[in-house]
Chain A
Amino acid sequence: MLNNGKIGAYPFMVLVTMFIVGDALLYVPAWLASAAKQDAWIAALLCMAEGALLAILYNAVAKRFYPATIVEMSGIAFGKWAGAAVALFFIIFIVIDISFLLMETGDFVTTQMMPDMPVEVILILFSGIAVSAARRGVQTMSRSAESLFPWFVALYVIFVLFISPQIKLSRIEPVFHAGFIPVLHGSFKYLGNMEEVVILLMLFPFVKLPERGTKALFLGVLLGNFILSAFTAITILVMGSTLTTMFSYPSYALAQKISIGDFFQRIEAIMAFMWFITVFIKIAVCYFAASFGIAQLLKLPDYRIVTLPLGMITIVLGLQLVPNRPYFNQFASLFWTPYTLTFGQLLPLLLLGVALLRKSVGKEERV
C-alpha cells in the first residue's frame, strides 16, 4: 500500500545521522554537563557504545520483520487488538515528540534570536515546511536530507575549526572527579534522545535492500553520535562545565565566542542554521512516521490525508504540553529517558522475543 518510492542506503544513512543530531545539537552538551560536569565527554563516548548496541537491536528487529513498519510489526507480533493498542501508544509517542521538537524550535528562536516574535508564528512556519516535506514522501525527504547534508557538514567543520583556538585541556581536569555514577546519569539523559531512533524503523521498509539498510542504520547512528560527542567535548573544552550548564543553549553561546582576528565574529546566526537543518529533517521524518503510522493503523489508502490535521494538532499540543521552559527541562531531564525506554528498548525487545518464540515453536506465518 501507499507506494512512495524506495530510497537507497546512502540517503538513509544521511537521514539517520541528521535525525540523531536533530535537536540534540543544542541540548546535549548542557544535559551531559549538568550531571557529569567535566566528564561529559566520557558520558558522550559511553552513549556512543549504547547507540551502537541499540542500532544492532533495531537492525535485528527491522531485518526480521522486513518489510513491515513498527505499526505492522506490533500487529503481527501481538495480534489484532493488542497490536493496535501498542501501535496507538507508539503513534502518541511520536506526536508528543513532534510537539516537543516544535516547541524547542519556537523557544530557541523567541528567546535567542527574535524576542518579540510570538512563538505561535514560529511553530506554524516550521511545522508548515515539515508537513509539506512529509507530504512529498520518503524519497523527497531523503533527497532533501542528502542535499542539505554537505551544508550541515561544512558549517559543522567551520564551527569546530574556528572555535578550536580557544580549547584548553585543563578544563576537563580532574577526570572522573566524582566517580562513575554522575557519568552514568549524564549518559542516561542522552540515551533518551538516542532511543528516538526507533521512529526511523517506520521508514526502514522504504530502503531498497534491507541488508545494506541495516549497515546504513548502524553507520548513521555511529556518525550522528560522533558528531554529538565531538561537539560536547569541544563545548566542555572551550567553556568548562560550569558555564556549559548555566546556558540554556551552550552551543549557541559557543558560536558567539567565535572570534578570529577581531573581525570574524558574531556568526552564531549562521551556526543556528546548522541546527535548523537537522531539526527540520527530524520533524519531517517524525511527521511522516506519525501520519504513515496512523494510515496503517486505520488502513487508509493514503497517509497524506492525515498530515495536515496532524500538523494542526501538534502545533496546539506543543503549546499545551510545554507551558514553560523549566517545566520542559524538568520533564526532559528526568522523565524523557524512562518514557522513551518503553518504546525504544522494551518494544523492540518484545517484538524480537515474540518473533524468536514463534520461530522456535515452528508455526510462524511470516518472517
Chain B
Amino acid sequence: MWSIWLIVLSAGGIVAVEFPLLKRRKYKREILAFAALLLFGVGLGIAKALELDIPNPIDWISVIYKPLSELLYGKSA
C-alpha cells in the first residue's frame, strides 16, 4: 500500500514543481500534455504496484521482429 502512496506523493511533487510555470503561461495544450503524461505514469505505477497483469510491449515487439531476427541470426537462434 505504501508504494501507491509514494507514487501519488511523487506525482504531487511533480505537479508542485511544474505548477508555477503552467499557471504563468496558461497554455492549454501544454497543461493537457503534462496532465496526460503524468496520469499515464501514475496509472502505470499503481497498476505495477498492485501487481496487475499488464501486457509487456516487448513481447509484441518480439513477435513483430521475429522474421527479421531469424533472417539475421538463423532459425536456431
Contact = CB atoms under 8 A, between A and B. Distances in A.
A binds B: yes
Interface of A: 96, 185, 188, 294, 298-302, 304-306, 308-310, 312-313, 315-317, 319-323, 327, 331, 334-335, 337-339, 341
Contacts of A299: 29
Nearest to A192: B72
Interface in B18-43: 18, 21-22, 25, 27, 29-30, 33-34, 37-38, 40-42
Interface string B39-77: 011101100100000101110011001101100111001
Contact of A300 (B33, B40, B73): B33
Contact of B61 (A308, A320, A327, A339): A339
Given A188-B72, A305-B33, A317-B44, A323 B56 contact: yes
| Main SS class of interface, A | helix
Contacts of A300: 27, 29-30, 33
Contacts of B69: 334-335, 337-338
Contacts of B18: 305, 308
B38 A309 contact: yes
B30 A301 contact: yes
In the A-B complex, the 3 residue pairs with the closest CB atoms: A309-B37, A312-B41, A338-B68
B29 to A, nearest CB: 6
A334 B17 CA distance: 41
Contacts of A334: 62, 69, 73, 77
Contacts of A339: 61, 65
A361 B57 CA distance: 40
B44 A316 contact: yes
A185 B73 contact: yes
Given A299-B29, A300-B33, A320-B48, A305 B22 contact: yes
